[in-house]
Amino acid sequence: MNSRYLLYEAQQAHYFGLPANLSLASVTSTPATIAGLSHRIGFLKEGADADVVLWDSHPLQLGATPVKVWIDGILQIPVPPKTDEPPPDIEVGKGKEADQWRQPPDVPNWDKERKETLMWDGLPPLQGKPKKDITIFSNVKSVWMRGQGGQIQANFTANSEKEMGVVVVEDGKITCLGAACLAATSDTTNVVDLRGGSIAPGIMAYGSPLGLEEIAGEASTGDGKPYDAFAGNVPNILDDSGAIMRAMDALMFGTRNAL
């Protein structure tokens, strides 16, 4: 693993349920203790090496960037000037002035997934669970829909957090769009807070074997060799002279052990 991505691993661990203090410890004090170097590194305490990083936001926030780095008490980043001039002032990243950037990020509640993990002995099924009830998406920043000509165009865009929209989906179709849709909320309604997210049509990946194989390069774990309409005739049973394969028509692999 590239050492530059260690903090990202801590961010992922926190996102999936590890407390913020333990997530930071996993890349600081814990490895230092295991390596037997806790008397020197991994902790901010008297007598330890003065290895310190000053961040422009909480280290677990996505996009957190170090603005100053000291190693053995000597400033390394930014590179100090060769003259006696004082170092430049710290410039906090644009848009990170709010207090929320100084706190750990909000993470989803994984209680349901934890229960399923225990129920299925650590291997819960990966298949989707179709729902026929009503689902309401709140705090929607934008909604992209396909027009009559097939073009993807913005149907709704919020200009600020106060203008976030609400979308009601029933049986897989958008039935309501706007703040008035909250009236459809009931005890049986599934409410999803998008937290400023967007809703758009599904994305297709051309040429990707995703969902068609488990191990790349091992034909026995895949859906088989595709037909090439340019090399020979395609069997009529496929009812597709162009031999355009779609993953939805193929054998379903859980892709749990994909390599």
How far, in Å, CA of 149 to CA of 155, rounded? 15
Relative to beta strand 165-170, strand 173-177 is antiparallel
Kindly state whether residue 57 falls inside one of the protein's structural domains: yes
Residue 155: give the domain boundaries: 134-199
124 dihedral zone (left: phi>0; alpha: psi -120 to 50; beta): beta
d(CA 83, CA 22): 41
C-alpha distances (whole Å) from 18 to each of 26, 34, 75, 122, 193 are: 10, 19, 32, 17, 21
Please write the tens of the pLDDT for every residue from 14-69.
999 999 999 999 999 999 999 999 999 999 988 889 899 999 899 999 888 888 89
Neighbours of 173 (CB within 10 A): 7
Question: Who has greater pLDDT, 244 or 98?
Answer: 98
Q: How many residues does the chain have?
A: 259
**Residue whose entry in the numeric block shows the structure tokens 């998406």:** 137
DSSP 138: E
Name the average pLDDT for the chain: 81
What is the pLDDT, as a whole number, of residue 253?
Answer: 56
Tell me the pLDDT band of 113, cut-offs 50, 70 and 90. confident
Question: Looking at per-residue confidence, does 237 or 65 come out higher?
Answer: 65
Task: Give yes or no: residues 24 and 72 share one domain.
Answer: yes
pLDDT at residue 190, as a whole number:
84
Considering the domain architecture, whether residues 89 and 171 belong to the same structural domain is answered as no
Given a cut of 90, is residue 228 above it in pLDDT?
Answer: no
Q: In the chain, how many domains are there?
A: 3
Last residue of a domain, one of 84, 102, 120: 102
Q: Are residues 235 and 154 in the same domain?
A: no
In a domain, 109, yes or no: no
Check residue 89 and give its pLDDT.
65
Task: Tell me, yes or no, whether 127 lies in a domain.
Answer: no
| Res 95 pLDDT > 90 | no
Q: Would you call 238 helix, strand, or coil by DSSP?
A: helix
- Is 123 inside any structural domain? no
Residue 173 shares a structural domain with residue 221: no
HSE-up (13 A, CA, CB side) for residue 123: 4
Rounded Cα gap, residues 45 and 40, in angstroms: 9
Phi then psi for residue 70, to 5 deg, are -115, 135
CATH at 138: 2.30.40.10
- Among the listed residues 118, 124, 103, the one whose alpha carbon sits nearest the alpha carbon of residue 59: 103
The whole-model pTM stands at 0.63
Whether 259 and 212 share a structural domain = yes
Same domain, 173 and 215: no
Are residues 67 and 142 located together in one domain of the fold?
no
Whether residue 108 is contained in a domain is answered as no
